[in-house]
């Protein structure tokens, strides 16, 4: 059974940086479409970034140029480097994946990520 465990969330001030991590277990090969989505209080879920099995990436316009998604297959880990954080980035962040090699459709493929963890909270204060 696949398990995803996020970590790295914290409270930071505007302009700060955080690095979220996601540990993947239960899969012998982590080179699948994976990504991050977030949910702010009272709002719907929003795809943040995805990475395909070939390491190609796609980002939401709201985070492009500030966030970087990456993976370390040897460590079965997914990361999200978040820089220049803004109060509107405040949300619960979830790591997610599906069983496909490629994230067809770019950032919109986040809706196909059917396996996710419990999330990690990011709070950005002004």
pLDDT at site 125 = 97
Report d(CA 75, CA 63) in Å as an integer: 25
Residues 6+ apart with CB under 8 A from 116: 4, 37, 94, 95, 96, 97
Tens-place pLDDT, residues 15-48: 999 999 999 998 766 688 999 999 999 999 999 9
Chunked into runs of 10 residues, the chain (126 residues) has average pLDDT values of 95 98 84 94 96 95 98 92 98 94 90 93 97
pLDDT at site 30 = 64
pLDDT at site 27 = 77
């Amino acid at each position: 059974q696949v398990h995803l465990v996020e970590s790295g969330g914290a409270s930071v001030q505007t302009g700060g940086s955080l690095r979220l991590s996601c540990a993947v277990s239960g899969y012998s090969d982590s080179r699948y479409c994976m990504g991050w989505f977030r949910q702010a209080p009272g709002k719907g879920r929003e795809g943040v970034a995805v990475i395909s099995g070939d390491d190609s990436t796609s980002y939401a316009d709201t985070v492009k140029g500030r966030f970087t998604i990456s993976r370390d297959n040897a460590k079965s880990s997914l990361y999200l480097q978040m820089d220049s954080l803004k109060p509107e980035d405040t949300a619960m962040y979830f790591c997610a994946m599906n069983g496909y090699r490629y994230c067809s459709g770019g950032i919109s493929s986040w809706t196909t990520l059917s396996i996710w963890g419990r999330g990690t909270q990011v709070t950005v204060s002004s």
